[in-house]
Structure 1
Amino acid sequence: MVVTLYHFPPSGPSRGALLAARAVGVEVDINIIDLFNSKKHLEEPFIKINPQHTVPTLTDGDFTIWDSHVIGPYLSKTYGKNDDLYPNDPKEKAVVDRLLNFDCGTLYPRIRQICFPVLFLGEIEVYDEHKVALDEALGFLDVFLDGNNFVAGEKLTVADCCLVASVSSIVAVGWDIEPYANVKNWVARCALSIPDYANSNQEGAEQYGKAVKRKLAAGQI
């Protein structure tokens, strides 16, 4: 069966799913959905696959799933060589699930709160309260990483894949993560640990950063 990932490289969540696939080692056929320059995600063929018309979307034979925070665990459980990326132990799994939820419920929404209005609503400023909120989330992540090589401990998990895709997006926009030494070192560690990191994540993050910076007023970040 062919595993297909409907993917938009500038999208942090989409890159999180692709990084998970790379970490698992499963071959995926990548189908690009260009959210900047086309309406392919709103066309009937894609809506039949995903009525919510979001990326990333994964098809595995006749099974379809979307949202990077479930795609990574699914790929790990279905194709992983062991349970390192998404543990079976209930307590270890709960830690990874908590971190996946931290990304989708806290960190990424605060990044989106800053960047979505710039990309799609014509905003050219970033509000101070949104900056404070994002710095708070990065501060939480820095604490989570204290004494750990990866977010859930000493082993790379699918939570790292999602979170590093988010953090690399805002770094590419120009956000200063120097105050968060644990986060900065962890990003570098992920880049060395996840196969094909540069092509699967960094290139798309830089596309995202350039798109946001083009529309921002000078010196806004």
Structure 2
Amino acid sequence: MAVIRCFSSSFAMAPILYMQHFSGPVRSVLLTAAALGLKLQHKIVDLSKQEHLTENFLKLNPQHTIPTLEDDGVVIWDSHAINAYLVAKYGKDDSLYPKDLAKRAMVDQRMHFDSGLIFSWLRNIARGVKYKGRKALTEDQIEGLEHGYEHLNTFLKDSKWVTGNAVTIADFSLIANVTTLNIIYPVDKSRYGNISRWLKDSEALPYYDVNREGLDHFKATVKPLLS
């Protein structure tokens, strides 16, 4: 659920992003900010030390999730809401999140696909591996991922990006989470050629490195836990 809260502020400064690099949703925000040429203040929230449950953080975000954005008295959580907000406020144009209703609806649909299916399975798998000691994916998880990959491959059948021939914030959300899943359950290039091509195109984006750093961290910490 996307939430926006407002607090009074006496001066403006660069937006603050409460984050951890390994988080796919965080990396989608980093991609959006980089595409906008927007500088963010990074505040690392150490989940292992339960810093997201401190009194100060809970005042900002009662759901205690990352990413959380604080921008001149406005506090927003849920990466999709943050990305839409950043484009609306700081974008030089609306190409990343079109104002045209039909085009925007398509971007929204793809972001709901990301949150409802792709990220849902990613979170389910990552929690099982990290906190429950699971060494392998279950049949249900594999089936769910294949289902998601099939749909995404279809979305990309006739277009370069997930909603057409221009990159949008829907791509950023899916890039961050699918590249993470690709570490856990690699995309079969022979079956999902459109996804494979899209991933290569994503790596060619001039700001893609902001995603790569978090991926490397995820690979180093989570991948070794899988058998």
TM-score scaled by length of structure 2: 0.90
Residue 214 (structure 1) aligned with residue 224 (structure 2): yes
Deviation digits for residues 89-139 of structure 1 (CA, Å, limit 9, x no counterpart):
000000000000000011111222222111112222311121011011011
Q: Distance in 2 between matches of 1:100 and 1:176?
A: 20
Q: 1:142 Cα deviation (Å)?
A: 0.5
Alpha-carbon contact 2:183-2:223 (below 8 Å) kept: no
Q: Distance in 2 between matches of 1:189 and 1:82?
A: 22
Q: Please report the RMSD computed on the Cα atoms of aligned residues, expressed in angstroms.
A: 1.3
Partner of 1:11: 23
Instruction: Give the counterpart of 1:111 among 107, 116, 122.
Output: 122
Letter in 1 for 2:181: I
Partner of 1:123: 134
Q: Distance in 2 between matches of 1:134 and 1:147?
A: 22
Q: Distance in 2 between matches of 1:162 and 1:176?
A: 17
Letter in 1 for 2:216: E
Letter in 2 for 1:166: N
1:170–1:31 Cα change, 3 Å: same
Letter in 2 for 1:128: E
Aligned length: 214
Structure 1 unaligned segments of length 5 or more: list them: none
Deviation digits for residues 16-62 of structure 1 (CA, Å, limit 9, x no counterpart):
11111111221111111122x32111111111111111000001110
Partner of 1:88: 99
Alpha-carbon contact 1:119-1:211 (below 8 Å) kept: no
* Percentage of pairs with the same residue: 36
Q: 1:174 Cα deviation (Å)?
A: 4.9
Partner of 2:84: 73
Alpha-carbon contact 2:187-2:196 (below 8 Å) kept: no
Instruction: Give the alignment of 1:145-156 within 5 angstroms.
Output: 145-156=156-167
Q: Which runs of 4+ in 1 moved over 4 A?
A: none
Structure 2 unaligned segments of length 5 or more: list them: 1-11
Q: Distance in 2 between matches of 1:213 and 1:28?
A: 29
Letter in 1 for 2:147: E
TM-score scaled by length of structure 1: 0.92
